[in-house]
Chains A and B, each alone.
Chain A
Amino acid sequence: MGEKGVERPATPYLLSTLVMVGLMMVIALFFITLAAKTESERNIIWAMLGFAAVLIVMMQMLEVVKARRAALEERKSISIVIECQECGEKLVRDFQRGDYVGKEEKCKKCGGKAMVTLIYSEKIR
């Protein structure tokens, strides 16, 4: 997973999990009938089996959730830097459509001529 930019599709994972769990159940059942002699032994094996199955399903679910989250794109924020040419005030705010580097703005502090000098994106953590 971790590889950025690559989403693994969710469905085959779920499918493979189900198939594997099913297969394990069948094999386990086979051994149970062979090995377990008493009722309590049988119960312990069943409990272990159930626990393992739940664990595997949960892990896979987690994987799927992670993949979904990655698919929703890491959120990025676009910021712009406005610099005043008169008083040197630097201001960072969110990008709005219509902004561009070199666009003239009014300085919030002194009312003088300010300009957008940089636009960049950052990941939101």
Chain B
Amino acid sequence: MIALMFFTPLNERIQLTYRMLEIQSYLKQLESYLTRADRVFEEEARRYGCSEEKAKKALKSIKGFFLIEPVSMDPVGIIKRLEHLLKTQEDRVDDFIREVAVNASEAERSNMKNVLAANLALDIIYRVVRHIFLLAKKTKNYFYMVQLYMYLPEIMRIARSYFRALIPLKEGIPIGDSLGPLVAFKLGNGSKWREVAKNVIAYEREASGRKLIIIKAKGPGGEVGKPGDAVEKIVKEHDGKVKMIIMVDAAVKLEGERTGEVAEGIGAAIGDPGPEKYKIETVATEYGIPLVAIVVKEDITEAITAMPREVAEAADRVVERILDIIKKKTSEGDVVIIAGIGNTIGISQ
């Protein structure tokens, strides 16, 4: 009997059934994340003066919202096209939130937008996992199932991160990704600021004789703004006479690295879909301005859930480091741009 189990296809079938059961319970878990995410969204909508029925209907209508990436066979102007699509998508989501959260303030609407984004992410994860699971079941294909099974722990980790992001996002608690704006706040708070681009503000202050222009998204709602536009505009305002652009962002760490580790590098430290990074690189190249990147390491869960203490404390070290770099690599009278990249949720100016 034992030989029969080990050396015949029966073994495979038993394994398949067993793994299927396991995947099914993961799938249940994903479903419950999604159900609870829906409930969070509906409760928030109710809080801001939307009827439960309307919220349910609206949420259902936006589920499965998608963006078709621009054609890349002819790459000319692809960034412009992508930017246009992203802007259209943003407008659509803005309209949607305004419709659902009637009485919300601007900041609260931004937070709602983030809650919706987490919800939609959970939705797509659930759909894809369910698709492969059902396909494997239907075709009795061992290899679909094995592939899914192998990736599931990672998928679950990501799904769980989104799930755990819901509460911080709805309540406006800074997340790990808010590190950039937090550094900008620490550097610029108390100085004069103005809005330089859509949802981006710029402080202006002096530090050891240098003029610092510090940009961040406009808070305390969950916004990332368009830092690319801001940097471009400021550089052009100064006729390109900017000595250095320093970008601060949170970066995904490798397993084993410590959360809150500060690292320095070269380039545009920004994880947007493309357009903002492109603008910054272009303007830096055009005027020959060095791009310095400072990142703080954290894992994906930490990046989208409430900011861990290690990351919050790293902000002070980053500020010191920036001032140090400025002192060493620029001279008095120079203009330096410092860009705090990331979601500014829970951080005002």
Binding site for B on A (CB under 8 A): 3, 5-7, 9-12, 15-16, 71, 73, 76, 78, 95, 97-103, 118-122
B312 at the interface (CB under 8 A from A): yes
Identify 12 residue pairs between A and B in the complex whose beta-carbon atoms are under 8 Å apart, listed by A's number: A5-B157, A5-B301, A97-B172, A98-B172, A100-B172, A100-B174, A100-B346, A102-B220, A119-B174, A120-B306, A120-B312, A121-B308
CB–CB A120/B22 < 8 A:
no
CB–CB A102/B306 < 8 A:
no
CB–CB B156/A119 < 8 A:
no
Please encode chain B, from 217 to 248, with 1 for each CB lying within 8 Å of some chain A CB and 0 for all others. Answer: 00110000000000000000000000000000
Which residue of chain A has the shortest Cβ distance to B307 in the bound complex?
A120
B11 at the interface (CB under 8 A from A): no
B304: chain A residues at CB < 8 Å are none
A-B interface contact total, Cβ < 8 Å: 90
Complex Cα distance, B337 from A67, in Å, reads: 48
Write the nearest CB–CB distance from A35 to chain B, whole angstroms.
19
CB–CB A12/B185 < 8 A:
no
A98: chain B residues at CB < 8 Å are 172
Interface residues of B in 162-217 (CB under 8 A from A): 164, 168, 171-174, 182, 185, 189
Additional pairs, 4, CB under 8 Å, beyond known A5-B157, A6-B153, A6-B160: A5-B160, A78-B173, A99-B346, A101-B185
User: What interface size band does chain B fall in?
Assistant: 35 or more
Complex Cα distance, B22 from A10, in Å, reads: 9
B174: chain A residues at CB < 8 Å are 100-101, 119-120
CB–CB A9/B220 < 8 A:
no
B29 at the interface (CB under 8 A from A): yes
CB–CB B346/A119 < 8 A:
yes
Interface of B is mostly: helix
B311: chain A residues at CB < 8 Å are 120
A120: chain B residues at CB < 8 Å are 174, 306-309, 311-313
CB–CB B156/A102 < 8 A:
no
Write the nearest CB–CB distance from A97 to chain B, whole angstroms.
5
Binding site for A on B (CB under 8 A): 18, 21-22, 25-26, 28-29, 153, 156-157, 160-161, 164, 168, 171-174, 182, 185, 189, 219-220, 301, 305-309, 311-313, 346-349
Of A16, A121, A122, which is in contact with the most chain B CB atoms at under 10 Å from its CB?
A121
A95: chain B residues at CB < 8 Å are 171, 173
Complex Cα distance, B168 from A73, in Å, reads: 14
CB–CB B25/A12 < 8 A:
yes
CB–CB A102/B347 < 8 A:
yes
- CB contact between B26 and one of A9, A78, A121 (< 8 Å): that residue: A9
CB–CB B307/A102 < 8 A:
no
Complex Cα distance, B301 from A76, in Å, reads: 13
Complex Cα distance, B309 from A5, in Å, reads: 18
B185: chain A residues at CB < 8 Å are 101-102
CB–CB B21/A12 < 8 A:
yes
Of A98, A99, A120, which is in contact with the most chain B CB atoms at under 10 Å from its CB?
A120
Complex Cα distance, B159 from A5, in Å, reads: 10
The 8 closest A-B pairs by CB, nearest first: A9-B25, A102-B348, A121-B306, A100-B220, A120-B312, A101-B347, A120-B309, A12-B22
CB–CB A11/B21 < 8 A:
yes
Complex Cα distance, B173 from A95, in Å, reads: 8
Complex Cα distance, B19 from A16, in Å, reads: 11
CB–CB A100/B347 < 8 A:
yes
Write the nearest CB–CB distance from B11 to chain A, whole angstroms.
14
CB–CB B220/A12 < 8 A:
no
B160: chain A residues at CB < 8 Å are 5-7
